[in-house]
Structure 1
Amino acid sequence: MAPAGGAVVILTSVQLYRHLLRCCRQLPTAAMQQHYKHAIRQGYNSHCDEDDPGRIQVIIQRAVEDAEWILNKYTKK
């Protein structure tokens, strides 16, 4: 069953990566989109060797919260 309110369930790092790249499309300028795409790629590469499932879920949760915060920051003007 899907969560209510349009929430996204992310279980794997690949799902997270794709979700974050889609979020970048909502940013107002191309420069911002490129900046955050680069940051996403760097974060993905820095955590690619993580193998603890609990730690991976913490990273996923934090990344989704950060993405929501960034989108709210730039789209509520």
Structure 2
Amino acid sequence: MNNLSTTVKMLRKQYNLTQEELSLKSGVGLRFVRDLEQGKETLRLDKVNQLLDFFNYEMVATQKTVNNETSTYIL
């Protein structure tokens, strides 16, 4: 599992929601919730943001860390 899938699953459980309840309340499909929680690597970002918005969360870009060291990349 990745950070996103772990976080969403944790939040869903904190709110005492089933995957089906989360899909209904956030407006995304049940399959999407399941795919996200299982760590699927390709997901629609607009749907991720829609689901995260339900929990008052958002996606942000951060610098990668490798072995607890920040890597600097020139884009």
Bin the TM-score by the shorter chain.
Answer: 0.3 to 0.5
Higher strand share: 2
Structure with larger Rg: 2
Higher helix share: 1
TM-score between the two structures when normalised by the length of structure 2: 0.36
TM-score between the two structures when normalised by the length of structure 1: 0.36
Question: Higher RCO, 1 or 2 (CA under 8 Å, sep at least 6)?
Answer: 1
